[in-house]
Structure 1
Amino acid sequence: MTSFTHDTAPTQYAEGGGIRFAYRRFGGPGRPPLVFYQHFMGTMDDHDPALSDAFAGDREVILFNNTGVASSSGIVPDTIEAMARDAITFTDALGLTTIDVVGHSMGGLVAQEVALARPDLVRRLVLVGTGPRGGEGIGARPDWVGKLFARKYQRQEDMWLPILFAPTRTSQAAGRAYIERIVARADRDTPVSDQSIAAQRAAIAAYGAAKDPSYANLKGLELPVLVVNGTDDIIIPTINSYILQQFLPDAELILYPDAGHGSHFQYPRLFVRHARILLDD
């Protein structure tokens, strides 16, 4: 068991495929490591300490920046499939042969492709605020939603309040608590670049445009999956969580009330309890 926490784990680097991947690793060995796949425009600093520290009580937690994101080297690719190949390269660089994955938003898209490409690698999968390839409204947000990502704030992390949380008093209060948690770390990650943002946006749009009403690719994900969302996700519409549950061979669905795209940040204790039911099996 390491003595590090979310806020104190040092940033390390792993070389693979010509890329220098930045990552943070903490917690105790014994169970398969839990690897977090990040959302659009997110860095290691946007993960929630309330989640990673809770999970790190009895397993290793690994946070990382994929190719070209923030403090990792390289150029961000413009397809989800290429991001998945890079994520596998990172895992291989650490010498890991079995992992569990929590994928949020774009990270959930990447996680699905990783599990499809390497079913021997991914043992359990938690998909939060995400959807299937060709899902409803993925990469085709209304203009007013897209503008939320371009707003400037005195404390830029406050941009996540309208994006990840519902506009209600209770949800916004939970959002402010989340922001305070993610800004607590002293040594901050590198900001995302314009190239990263443009490539990620293009990748999400292409993934959403790949329509297949039968969602045949989901049939290949035979591992146990937990699908989580809020009742009104304005980024990847909540209907996509229903689609995942309906078409995945072995999936459970949980919707949290009065919540949006960052429902697991709004209900961190409850999310950890629910995820552990899957992960501890």
Structure 2
Amino acid sequence: MRTHGTVRTADGTEVAYQLDGTGPPLLLLAGQANNHHWWDAVRADLLAYQTLSLDWRGTGDSEDGPADFTTRTLAADVVALLDQLGIETLDVYGTSMGGRVAQWLAVDHPDRVRRLVLGCTTPGGPRAVERSQDVRRRLAVADPAAVREAVAELMYTPGWRATHPGPYATLGDPAISPVSARRHLRASARHDANDVLARIAAPTLVLHGTDDEFAPVVNARLIADGIPDATLRLFEGARHAYFEECRPEASPVVLEFLAAG
């Protein structure tokens, strides 16, 4: 049974969270400008765990907060949540911006992360490979419907969309304010954990689609090379939402990795 609640962060922002199921705790961290529904398609695969998710600042049932934030701020929000729930250690699965937040969680709070899964994300900083100018132009048009279509194309392959027409829960929180959307974009763009990846002590699995244009696949290799003994698994032909489109392959890989510890 799913339960809901809120936590007050260090600057007083109220952040909503969701707990689902029983078993060892597994934290699920969603992508930029998205809420916990990002995980709707795969949460049922993780029933062996008590899954914990949250709505990022400015999404879902969470407050906007008073100012700009960083991926490190969001990691601190997660720690405030873990403290409130009395969770000392758990497994962490972070994707896209959630993967950036998970990097800081593992760096700054190594005692809280048992095993770490980083999906479709980047280390940030000067070595990271950014999305192309073509992708940026497709996302910068004024028509919201055109932007959502562009995001859908970046998330899923045409063949998969033909048999899975949606709606999709990964295209951004439709109720996010323009101010919060810009804050999310800045937080992701300014992320830079490249020089501290070697400090991540948790066993780490890195997952990525080979045809990801949102976060080019070379970033997965940078992360895997930067974290001691990390394991890299690529999904051929997949785009940014590999975890949903390649669910029959990806979810078992995650479960096997988490069970190995």
TM-score (structure 1 length as normaliser): 0.81
Distance 1:11 1:160 in 2: 29
Segments of structure 2 that go 5 or more residues without pairing to the other structure are none
Distance 1:63 1:159 in 2: 26
Aligned-residue offset at 1:243: 0.8
Distance 2:183 2:104 in 1: 17
Aligned 1:142-181 pairs, distance under 5 A: 142-145=133-136, 147-148=138-139, 151-153=143-145, 160-166=151-157, 169-173=158-162, 176=164, 179-180=166-167
Aligned 1:80-91 pairs, distance under 5 A: 80-91=71-82
Distance 1:89 1:159 in 2: 35
2:37 corresponds to which of 23, 32, 45: 45
Which residue of 2 is the match for residue 197 of structure 1? 181
Which residue of 2 is the match for residue 136 of structure 1? 128
Answer yes or no: is the 8 Å Cα contact 1:145–1:235 preserved in 2. no
1:238 corresponds to which of 217, 224, 233: 217
Task: Tell whether 2:259 aligns with 1:280.
Answer: yes
2:61 corresponds to which of 49, 68, 71: 71
Which amino acid counterpart does residue 161 of structure 2 have in structure 1? Answer: Q
RMSD: 2.5
Which residue of 2 is the match for residue 54 of structure 1? 45
Which amino acid counterpart does residue 223 of structure 1 have in structure 2? Answer: A
Answer yes or no: is the 8 Å Cα contact 2:94–2:117 preserved in 1. yes
Question: 1:217-274: CA deviations, max 9, x gaps?
Answer: 1110121111111111111111000111112102111111121111111111211110
How many pairs does the alignment contain?
254
Helix, strand or coil at the partner of 2:228: coil
Which residue of 2 is the match for residue 247 of structure 1? 226
CA 1:26–1:109: 2 relative to 1, 3 Å: same
CA 1:161–1:149: 2 relative to 1, 3 Å: farther
Distance 2:129 2:179 in 1: 23
1:102 corresponds to which of 77, 93, 96: 93
Distance 1:262 1:251 in 2: 21
Which range moves more in the overlay, 73-82 or 191-200?
73-82
